[in-house]
Amino acid sequence: MQAVQGFYDNGVFELQQEAPVKRGKFIMIFTEDELPKEKIMSKEESLRIFREHSNGVSRHIDVEKERDEYLYEKYGPFN
């Protein structure tokens, strides 16, 4: 993946340098300073959405159990 900067103006893309390929897919990222202020999500809204969608994630990690399972998978049973 390679980044090339450019401009978008009413449906027209203009690159600041030559594209590294003749044809390809791309992802366009609009910087926050370019977006209308009402389109930018507040930190509170971001946190609300994160909490809403992360309820199924267990936050308790048993470090010893995780280590033992890793060692068992890597080296087999201990004698």
**Per-residue pLDDT tens digits for 37-56:** 666 678 888 888 888 777 66
pLDDT of residue 39: 62
Chain-centroid distance, C-alpha 36: 22
Q: What is the pLDDT of residue 79?
A: 60
Identify the band that residue 28 occupies on the pLDDT scale cut at 50, 70 and 90. confident
Structure tokens at 65: 């159990």
- 1 has a pLDDT exceeding 80: no
Contact present, 6 and 13 (Cβ < 8 Å): yes
- Report the b/e string of 27-45 with b at 16+ CB within 10 A: eeeeeeeeeeeeeeeeeee
CA distance 41 to 37: 9
How large is the average pLDDT for residues 6-16?
Answer: 85
Residues of the chain with pLDDT > 70, as a percent, come to: 80
